[in-house]
Structure 1
Amino acid sequence: MKVALRNATATRSRRSIPSLALGAALACATALSIPSHAKADGDAGPYSSVTSSRLANASKDNGWLMYRRDYTSSGYAPFTDINTGNVAQLKPVWDYETGIKTGHEAPPIINGDYMFVSTPKNHLLAFQASTGKLLWKYERDLSEVGLKTICCDVVNRGVALYGDNVYMATLDNHVLALDAKTGKIVWDVQLEPADLGYAMTLAPLVVKGKIMVGISGGEYGGRGFIAALDAKTGKQDWKTFTVPEPGQPGGDTWPKGAYTTGGGATWLTGSYDAQTDSLIWGVGNPGPWLATLRPGDNLYTDSVIALNPDNGHIKWHYQYTPHDTWDYDGTNEPVLVDLTYEGKPYKALVSASRNGWFYAIDRQNGKFIYAEKFAHATSVSGFKDGVAITDPAMRPDIGKEVFTCPSFLGGKNWWPIAVDPQNHLAFVPTLHTCMKMKGNPVSYKAGLPFLGESFNVMHDPENPDHWGSVQAIDLNTGKRAWSFESTLPWNGGMLATAGGLVFSGSADGYLYAFDAKTGDVKWKSPKMSSGVIGVPATWKVGDKQYVAVYAGWGGGVPIWGGDMAKDKAVRSIPLGGHLYVFGL
């Protein structure tokens, strides 16, 4: 197939993206046709097994072997072929239209000349990465699954590779192993029943021959967990619940019986610290949302936890938002970095939390290093001895409505940051929203929302002209280095490279390349067919570097976005699932 792209040449840096213009401006744009699936001279060649050693050294691989490229979740590639000096010459190479018009969130995963990329509703596509030749396609049969009980949109965030298999978690709570060369099912294991509020949307993580997965369902009162499955057989090695029961550490932070419906979903892929042999994972919001119904700190919700990958034992935790009542979660990816704060070096993790604060935590013991605001934050007002202080006036209750910032969508939602170790910068896709929130009576019923609050997402009064931005944050201070503001929300994941570039897709359908040091726009793709919430990836086949991203608007913002979702410019963002690949 062919797709028409709108012409968008590289220009000088601009600090604001205008709202979508669908009239004369698009009519005047130059159409650019690009080939879909240029014919390969041969197939993708022999498949190279993905060993534990290759995963441990994924940061140096020419492919993109896991969700955030390597175990640190850095989203950083050491490639310099595409750089600040030549990125303006980047052109479309091949594309593929999925035919599914909902949120496309997965990055392509690449091993050699093989690409694997998932779609909403658990389709899995295998391509020759350099040409776009479709090698095989798997479609999950979800016809008997009640997808309306799944939060938020029927998305999938990618796959994992190990040995000669590719692994995918599904909306009906199965984990699949498929043969990477043929797409045939090797094993299929179900972890939870479907239609009761549980779902699986994350990309699995492979550590020490185990497939690590987490669960979605905090909005439905599901009890979160992380599970490890044997990569060869699918047999469950261990399962650790993120909401402890009475008698376990943290169990006394819940009222009697509340742990069974306590939330704590683990719906984003974690990281792995080989130095301490620790699986590091974020944990989501407690259930119900309304905190007055569950007194206590409610561990380990809204936390980052470190686990022993051999048995799932929790080593330490840090709670970003104690006794959360704003759906601030703690699932945002923990990125493992080395930094120096106030003259002292740390082995740290950083996370741009939903609550509007950018955290640095000692990844060896879970101790607080620093936190700095990266978005307007009023509910979490500060810190004392490393513990977040929450403002009682900002807590909703039955009959009590509050206006607080950020909204439950967060200063950043699931869209991953990237870290540039050369410039000691983190790049953060940011939302600028606040909300009104009010408590309501609620009782638990399996498969139904378990919230206890009504809400409306609104403009941030401190930034009323922009729903989003891209920010660079100095890792050693937590302070903003530069910002690029967007009229529309910025929901695209970040990719950083040694070529001095940061790639991210915009809601109005462009892939941007920013100068990592300055934030200047070095390149802007031709206009794509839909807005971007996808995660870009880059890889090399031979001596050629490629960059790819999904365009496919959807996800939580159109469903839960309140005034933002009603904004005329946001409502005008076209739907569509389309993978675009670029190269010099």
Structure 2
Amino acid sequence: MFGLQACAKAPTAAADAAKPAAAAQDDGGYPLVTDVRLQNAGNDDGWLMYRRDYGSSGYAPFDTVNAGNVAQLKQAWDYTSEFDMGHEAPPVVNGDYMFITTPKNHLLAFQASTGKLLWKYEHDLSNAGLKTVCCDVVNRGVALYQDKVYMATLDNHVVALDAKTGKVAWNEKIHEQDVGYAMTLAPLVVKGKVIVGVSGGEYGARGYVTALDAATGKEAWKQHTIPMPDEPGGDTWPKGAAETGGGAAWLTGSYDAETDTLFWGVGNPGPWLATLRPGDNLYTDSVIAMDPATGKIKWHYQYTPNDTWDYDGTNETVFTDIDYKGAKHKAIVSASRNGWFYAIDRTDGKLIYAEKFATATSVTGPDANGKMQTDPALRPTVDKEVFTCPSFLGGKNWWPISVSPQTGLAYVPTLHSCMTIKGAEVSYKAGLPFLGESFLVKRDPAFPNQWGSVQAIDVNTGKQAWTFPSELPWNSGMLSTAGGLLFSGSADGYLYAFDAKTGKVLWKSPQMTSGVLGVPSTWKVGGKQYVGVWAGWGGASPIWGGEMAQDPKVKGIPLGGHLYVFSL
């Protein structure tokens, strides 16, 4: 059974920000989030952005909570939300201020040390149909800059609010609603620009990344992910296909200050059925490297050319320096939906290696030039159904990995599933699904007793270092720390602390009130370390999960958002 937890401890003091030594303050004591602080976010006492730092590491250099004392971790405070959809955002923390989002674009501000609710913003979605929001009405968090907090919304707005009061500073619409576009990602702020990408690959949207001025909300640039015929890459599409070509950019990117390069993942092409759009279909299923001042694409690497399995390429790109076969590289690593773990040179986009981390049958691996190849026999048509692995949910979906410089390991929330998939006739109509395929998620025969696992991959080799099997799907993000720990939440409602080197379970929380889909984060206030995570089952797995969603143990996972914060 899923257990109920104690109510939040009664707060005894108003918000009093614990001030990082180098952080300037505004008149109200809020530590300003400057460009310098964002560039050094990995060393901050807070958790200043979606994946902690510009390199998307999900790693904190904190060891107050460590392998020796994590068994003493206790609940510090909690909060119950009003929604029973998927809760996917990490706590974002600056000083003693925490900001976290819920489904349907509510934004909550707490005192991070006590759980006192400071303010609440509810974005008005009363006129939004939300019919073109794929895979639950979720939100993955906020960005911080100066004295403001930024959220992207389901009806295609970006909202800037005063971080201390919740007062709206500006509210800018970037696209019409209910026509196939939505936004569910956490923004990324780089050099005074708030950068976001759109969802909508299942609705014939033409994806793009756009940058807004952080002070005013005015558009600075817009870069489409699907080129038109007269643009570089436009010849990889048949005539007329680019306008509805998909390529949604629905997860948060990374930024390399050393080369002044923005990296962003690009999603699946539309429609799903590839026989309708022969060619590589750039820049779908790719990572693109962009100039953050203009959005201009510098280079790309494509994970799955001419994707017909919804394998996407939006997964986070994590920076790490690796030594592969005696050669040192400044790399980005990514665990792709297609079941392959990639290391790519982040200076030029050249493939270093690609290794399977899940059963992968349709995508067969790179050729001598580093271009990924696929199996023609496993491509569906309107006359042919195929069985292939992984399923469209991927070897890993949006749930972020973490890379620890302490261990040299990448930690991957892994899904073990396959699918049957068959082509179907389809035509485009704005606001309606644009798939051209039917599908059913099935068990992976190689993993008959588990839907998921947590696995550690050596970034220098791409090979598995350890694995922790799970009978249920594992849909929570990863958090690693200098305390030798890896934190992640399970679908049956526990927050786990693993030994980051071996995978041994060192602690797990009392059972929470719902399964964990959220992304854990950690922060320090007054020298005390906290770990926080949303419980709140939902997302794509229970909606589109086929046989997995119908598994009685998966169907039995209770819903309801509940934020838990732990400390020693």
Unaligned runs of 5+ residues in structure 2 are 18-28
Residue 99 of structure 1 aligns to which amino acid in structure 2? E
SS in 2 for 1:557: helix
Match of 1:284 in 2: 267
Match of 1:8 in 2: none
Query: Comparing 37-46 with 470-479, which one deviates more in the overlay?
Result: 37-46
Match of 2:123 in 1: 140
* Alignment TM-score, normalising by the size of structure 1: 0.94
Residue 283 of structure 1 aligns to which amino acid in structure 2? V
Paired residues for 1:12-411 under 5 Å = 22=1, 34-45=6-17, 46-384=29-367, 385-411=369-395
Shift of 1:37: 4.4
User: How many Å separate the matches in 2 of 1:400 and 1:198?
Assistant: 31
User: How many Å separate the matches in 1 of 2:209 and 2:9?
Assistant: 38
Q: Does 1:481 align with 2:465?
A: yes
Shift of 1:257: 1.0
Shift of 1:35: 3.7
Residue 460 of structure 1 aligns to which amino acid in structure 2? D
Match of 1:9 in 2: none
The structure 1 segments of at least 4 consecutive aligned residues displaced by more than 2 Å after TM superposition are 31-35, 40-45
State the Cα deviation string for residues 10-47 of structure 1 (Å, max 9, x = none).
xxxxxxxxxxxx4xxx7xxxx78534142132323420
Paired residues for 1:382-461 under 5 Å = 382-384=365-367, 385-461=369-445
User: How many Å separate the matches in 1 of 2:391 and 2:335?
Assistant: 15
User: How many Å separate the matches in 2 of 1:548 and 1:424?
Assistant: 24
Unaligned runs of 5+ residues in structure 1 are 1-21
Match of 2:20 in 1: none
User: How many Å separate the matches in 1 of 2:63 and 2:95?
Assistant: 18
SS in 2 for 1:198: coil
SS in 2 for 1:512: strand
Shift of 1:446: 0.3
Q: Does 1:508 align with 2:480?
A: no
Q: Does 1:524 align with 2:508?
A: yes
User: How many Å separate the matches in 1 of 2:52 and 2:333?
Assistant: 17
User: How many Å separate the matches in 1 of 2:112 and 2:275?
Assistant: 52
Contact 2:132 2:200 in 1 (8 A): no
User: How many Å separate the matches in 2 of 1:486 and 1:97?
Assistant: 27
Residue 133 of structure 1 aligns to which amino acid in structure 2? K
1:497 corresponds, among 467, 478, 481, to 481
State the Cα deviation string for residues 277-306 of structure 1 (Å, max 9, x = none).
000000000000000000100000000000
User: How many Å separate the matches in 2 of 1:34 and 1:223?
Assistant: 46
Match of 1:543 in 2: 527
User: How many Å separate the matches in 1 of 2:114 and 2:11?
Assistant: 7
State the Cα deviation string for residues 322-356 of structure 1 (Å, max 9, x = none).
00000000000000110000000000000000000
User: How many Å separate the matches in 2 of 1:562 and 1:509?
Assistant: 21
User: How many Å separate the matches in 2 of 1:367 and 1:293?
Assistant: 29
Residue 277 of structure 1 aligns to which amino acid in structure 2? D
Instruction: State the Cα RMSD in Å.
Output: 0.8
Contact 1:37 1:134 in 2 (8 A): no
SS in 2 for 1:569: helix
Match of 1:554 in 2: 538
User: How many Å separate the matches in 1 of 2:482 and 2:161?
Assistant: 33
User: How many Å separate the matches in 1 of 2:194 and 2:131?
Assistant: 27
% identical equivalent positions: 72
Contact 1:510 1:532 in 2 (8 A): yes
Shift of 1:140: 1.0
Contact 2:15 2:97 in 1 (8 A): no
SS in 2 for 1:252: helix
State the Cα deviation string for residues 163-194 of structure 1 (Å, max 9, x = none).
10000000000000000011010001001111
User: How many Å separate the matches in 1 of 2:60 and 2:46?
Assistant: 9
SS in 1 for 2:131: helix
User: How many Å separate the matches in 2 of 1:38 and 1:517?
Assistant: 38
State the Cα deviation string for residues 407-431 of structure 1 (Å, max 9, x = none).
0000000000000011100000000
1:33/1:229 CA distance change after superposition, 3 Å: closer
* Alignment TM-score, normalising by the size of structure 2: 0.97
1:570 corresponds, among 554, 559, 567, to 554
User: How many Å separate the matches in 1 of 2:177 and 2:411?
Assistant: 36
State the Cα deviation string for residues 121-180 of structure 1 (Å, max 9, x = none).
000000000000000000111111112321010000000000100000000000000000
1:33/1:281 CA distance change after superposition, 3 Å: closer
Residue 372 of structure 2 aligns to which amino acid in structure 1? A
Contact 1:37 1:96 in 2 (8 A): no
Residue 487 of structure 1 aligns to which amino acid in structure 2? E
User: How many Å separate the matches in 2 of 1:283 and 1:114?
Assistant: 32
SS in 2 for 1:565: helix
SS in 2 for 1:175: strand
Residue 66 of structure 1 aligns to which amino acid in structure 2? M
Shift of 1:383: 1.4
Residue 451 of structure 1 aligns to which amino acid in structure 2? L
